[in-house]
Chain A
Amino acid sequence: MPGSLEYTIWCLATLLEVAVVVSAIGRRCFGRYLCLNLYMLSSLVVSIARYWALSHYGLRSSEYKYCYFYSDAILTIFLYLALITLYLRVFDEMNVDKYVRLAAVALLAGTALFSYGVVQQSSNKMLTGFFFELSQNLYFVGLVLTYVLWGAILKLRETRTQLIQLVLSLGIYFSAFAATFALGNMFPNFQFFGYVVPVFGCLLPLAWAFAFWRLAPDARIAPARLAVVPR
């Protein structure tokens, strides 16, 4: 069973997820960033479901493992969709919604097909392996997409502070996870990652809660201040 530190981090992450939704409702921007809030709500439901599976079946049971990996894949797909809605907000004045949605579905289908191809060649546990592979690949796709979105924000001189901070915190989250997964593959016996991954999981709801609570939806910043290389 997890120790008290793991439970504390877990509780903290769950509380922060609640804080995001409460902040968004309190500041009346729940509908504006609906997919982001739905992701946080689904993450909250998943936390409760995982706790139920853990307390009923135990950490090493196959029920908990199935629950963990399937819910992780579903959450990653939700986060991917949340990222796409950020794309839609950044490009909302260009009337390219249809193309963004089409590209997003095509990319998701492509990632799923690629994951299926990888699992089919190397694993006999098809379904679990597929969800695990899909989840990992979507994290990397998410990182690349967030990087592209950040480039677009700089290029289009986006000024909405809240939107900018939501995208940047998502970028930190994706890149921190991708770096940790890669480090985990390089040093598989290093126990440190067991603590690092849940701590990173707290960063995204913390940053989003701050963005919803502290920043006015119509707050603007000068885009020139965002580029590291002065323009």
Chain B
Amino acid sequence: MATLIFLLSSAALLQFFVSYCRSLIAACIKQPLSAEVRDVTGIPSTASAADFARVIQLLDLCPERPEERGRIRAINTYFWLLNVVRATLARAIPSLVAWTDMERGQCTYFAAVTLDRRIAFSRDMLAQQIDV
């Protein structure tokens, strides 16, 4: 019985987690990237999965905003999960390749939007320090 509950609740956890990450991404997908972030990240109009690691590295260079820490971790885990799906299940089901690529691209876009916010936040902090 415990095994059954474990399997069912793990499946539910996975589904809720994926949906939660998708809702986080959906909330910021319409936000346009600033020209500055486009230049820095090299993302033209659509982000690709290949840029994700670079955008995360750039994110690590900016001062962190406490309220974003959990979300970035969640999206990082989601990206890792998508990589696992692409490397395993997608070999058996080829249609999954396109889906995982699209999702990973959206993860990159989410990271780029977060980078944009962090740059704006850093700029505000600097402006406040200059005022003081």
Contact = CB atoms under 8 A, between A and B. Distances in A.
Interface of A: 140, 143, 146-147, 150, 161, 164-165, 168-169, 171-172, 174-176, 178-179, 181-183, 185-186, 206-207, 209-210, 213-215, 219, 221-222, 225-226, 228, 230
B61 interface: no
A219 B24 CA distance: 12
B16 A172 contact: yes
Given A143-B9, A161-B23, A206-B70, A168 B29 contact: no
Nearest to B17: A172
Contact of A179 (B10, B19, B71, B99): B10
A150 B22 CA distance: 14
B13 A168 contact: no
B67 A213 contact: yes
Interface string B1-33: 011011011101101111110111111010000
A228 B19 contact: yes
B20 A182 contact: no
B67 A168 contact: no
Contacts of A181: 5
A215 B27 contact: yes
Contacts, number: 86
Contact of A172 (B13, B25, B27): B13
Contact of A147 (B10, B12, B24, B29): B12
A214 B23 CA distance: 13
B13 to A, nearest CB: 4
Given A186-B2, A206-B70, A228-B22, 18 more contacts: A147-B12, A150-B16, A150-B19, A161-B27, A168-B20, A171-B19, A171-B20, A175-B9, A175-B10, A175-B12, A182-B3, A183-B2, A207-B70, A210-B70, A225-B22, A225-B25, A225-B29, A226-B19
